[in-house]
Amino acid sequence: MLLKTFLPAFLAITLITFSSCKKKKRDNPAPNPQEEALKFELPDVQEGKYNMALDSTFTFKVNITTKIPDKGVGVTLNVVTETGNIPLAQDAVPDVTANPFSITLHHLKPLKTYAVTVTLASFGNTANTATPKVFYITNKSNQ
């Protein structure tokens, strides 16, 4: 008698368990090819440390170490004084489709130190943004 009571309940729980674990094709469409997470390096500068410019301009190389997205990469450049965080306007960096590429800082005042932040973001996927890199640059010229 006990078997008649528990057998239907056991079979129902077993059936529900197996049917809920089974994956259905309509629930999992074909995956879209995703972009590789953006990563880059700045081989010409020491990240997080102080670097030296010999005049009012400074050019450095950016090397994207992952595959460049099909739609390209946008570069955001933020240059501010180390003390006071006063922005120093810079020319816009063109959209990137080739690797490596160079960025030139302009208007560096003599004997001033600037914090430079470089950020890369994919045009095809707004969530694909590389971790920003920061370095400091001091114009050591007297003029």
Q: What residues have CB less than 8 Å from 43, skipping those under 6 apart?
A: 61, 63
Range of the domain at 78: 40-139
28 occurs within a structural domain = no
- Considering its fold, how many domains does the chain have in total? 1
Contact 95, 123 (CB under 8 A): yes
Q: What residues have CB less than 8 Å from 21, skipping those under 6 apart?
A: none
CATH number of 123's domain: 2.60.40.10
**Residue 22: what pLDDT?**
55
Helix (H, G, I), strand (E, B) or coil at 1: coil
82 occurs within a structural domain = yes
What are the pLDDT digits (tens) for 4-14? 666 566 656 66
What are the pLDDT digits (tens) for 37-73? 999 999 999 999 999 999 999 999 999 999 998 899 9
4 occurs within a structural domain = no
Q: What is the pTM of this model?
A: 0.73
103 occurs within a structural domain = yes
pLDDT tier for residue 79 given thresholds of 50, 70 and 90: very high
11 occurs within a structural domain = no
Q: Share the mean pLDDT of the chain.
A: 84
